[in-house]
Amino acid sequence: MVIEMIKAIGELFDVSYGQKGLDSIDDLQQGKTILISSSGEDNGCIGFINAVPYFTKPFITIPRTGSVCEAFVQLHKCCVNSNVLVLIPKEELNIETLYEVAYQIRLNKWRYTFYGRTVTPEKIKKQKIRVENIPTDYKRLVSSLTPKEQAKKPLEKRKMKLVNITELCTIERKNGTPQGEIISEGNTPYVSASAKNNGVVMFIGEEPNAEAKTLTVAKDITRDGYSFYHAYPYLTSIHNFVLKPKNGFPTYLLFYVGAVVYIRAYCYNHSYPLSKKHLERIEIPMPVNQKGEYDFAYIKDMIDTAYGAEKIKKYL
């Protein structure tokens, strides 16, 4: 039996702003505590800081800047900065209800897309939502959707050698048609600095300017260092660097290089954006064998033990 109720969010939740002093992650010491901000990606997580988690029970976050009203359910202990509204249940609610409420908040985000219509605790408290007692087993649903993978053998330790990225890959910047000037539709992927869909934002009727089996590294302030492998020819613009293995090095090297670049790119931001010179100075820790040669077989084993490895093998 489904029981339906219409209630104001304020009847079910205490609504407040997030914590002060956490708005600039560049000024915070890195650590292991999740920091939630107004990002519409990665469940709102923008990094990890050295702080004691302030929120410890499941709750909802609502960005009031950036990705306005892209509500997320937070299930892990974390800190939340003041760019976000925090909804704490007044009484214990199950996980299914939290997701239902977050979804309905997202449906109403159009109310705050106009200039001057900012998101505040008072406005959110007054929003009416429909709460249904639906018999859904969240844990069982998660279990059914989580891919089952075979156990992986742990890798043995290898000696590492820091190698400049330019010794492994060529680095280019392409001069493609800006996204705003493209009007034709077609089959060529257009790769921008987006953090979603492998960087592909549309399909166009232009000729590719980058070949298949290459890596893009985004140069876009907020997404500096986002790296994606492309198994197909594509067109990109000056918002990406394009990397290709040198000296006949194997294609799967790009997955490893891309992961390292993404990790190292945390230090680039609005005040210190990623440039080609910065990218060319990045050093990649390369495994070497007893002869001092690059151990590409070890890198392949690393990729083969990664999540989703079976799906990408056909694209190498």
Residue 184 pLDDT: 76
**Other beta carbons less than 10 A from residue 59's beta carbon:** 20
Q: pLDDT by residue (tens digit) across 204-239?
A: 988 899 999 999 999 886 778 899 999 999 999 888
* Mean pLDDT score across all residues of the chain: 87
Higher-confidence position of 111 and 233: 233
Q: Answer whether 66's CB lies under 8 Å from 40's CB.
A: yes
pLDDT bracket for residue 2 (50, 70, 90): very low
Reply yes or no on whether the pLDDT at 262 is more than 80.
yes
Share of the chain above pLDDT 70, in %: 90
Q: Answer whether 39's CB lies under 8 Å from 72's CB.
A: no
Q: Answer whether 287's CB lies under 8 Å from 299's CB.
A: yes
pTM of the model: 0.64
Structural domains present in the chain: 4-145 (3.90.220.20), 159-315 (3.90.220.20)
pLDDT bracket for residue 179 (50, 70, 90): low
C-alpha count within 13 angstroms, C-beta hemisphere, residue 27: 6
**Other beta carbons less than 10 A from residue 311's beta carbon:** 9
Question: Could you tell me the two tokens for 293?
Answer: 């040669």
Higher-confidence position of 179 and 89: 89
**Integer Cα distance of 47 and 33 in angstroms:** 8
Residue 58 pLDDT: 94
